[in-house]
Amino acid sequence: METRNLGHSGLQVSLVGLGCNNFGMFLDLEASRKVIDKAIELGITLFDTADIYGNRGGSETMMGQILGDRRKHIILATKFGMAMDEAGTLKGASRRYIFSAVEASLRRLKTDWIDLYQLHQVDPLTPMEETLRALDDLIKQGKVRYIGISNHPAWKVADAEWISRQHNLNHFISCQDEYSLLARAPEKELIPAMKKFGLGLLPYFPLASGMLTGKHHRGNLSHGTRLETARFAGRFTTDENFAIVEKLAQFCKKRGHTLLELAFSWLAMKAINSSIIAGATKPEQLEQNVKAVDWKLTPEDLSEIDALTARA
């Protein structure tokens, strides 16, 4: 398994990471154990979860039960900021909430430290300086090793970097955002800002929630997948996306590869991507993901892909 530094930091992560959002939601304890065991066997070192995953706490709890002594051999990443209660009071990025949220995550994960602690979403009520000072204190206390940011616009990422520099605080080393052949918005503003400040990207939804697996076709969605749910189908199964997928499928067929291999290899060709975050419900899916990054696309391939994925 290839490893890369996360941005300009010294933290090394596996090129293929494991998204742990299925644990406690779609997978029970034993099914989650099989996925985690296979991930470690394949050399995956980055395990990415969040306090909200698994019906608020379920994913972290299962990981704490499963990892045991192996925890010290992996890079454990989690997130905070989204609502952890129905009333929406347990959320945000204030100093008070961060100190409470990190202790809860540490308890569920059964660990003394978090390798990468990430702000999950924008908190419009809390100044970024307050958030960064609280996270800086957690690093000094040894409870957190590095910090990252997720689902924030480029200007907020740049603002956070300048605040860290101005006040000599530990700064974000990574962004975690949706990025795939069907979701290329980060290329416009976010990725240029990240390159300027030396952050690494952790792309999630690399398969566009299944649209890039090759399983789904126009008018015929594969049964038992997340694209059957209203939340994902309405977003991804558009006529425009199906048109792009059909063209990409032909591109792959001519070269003897699969659509899934293209989705991963295209992301792997971009140096900004430190680790590709992909979930799995079965161990064999992990094997496919790990093998998928081996296709070395040529500059001509990349130019053709850009043309095929161009939006109207």
State the catalytic residues: 53
Q: Which two tokens stand for residue 176?
A: 């975690």
Q: Phi, psi at residue 34, to the nearest 5°?
A: -65, -40
Distance from C-alpha of 182 to C-alpha of 286, rounded to nearest angstrom: 21
SS3 content of the chain, % helix, strand, coil (to 5): 45, 15, 35
Q: How many residues does the chain have?
A: 312
Q: Which two tokens stand for residue 111?
A: 């660990």
Q: Which residues pair with 76 in a beta bridge?
A: 47
Contact 70, 107 (CB under 8 A): no
Q: Dihedral of CA 125/49/142/272: which sign?
A: negative
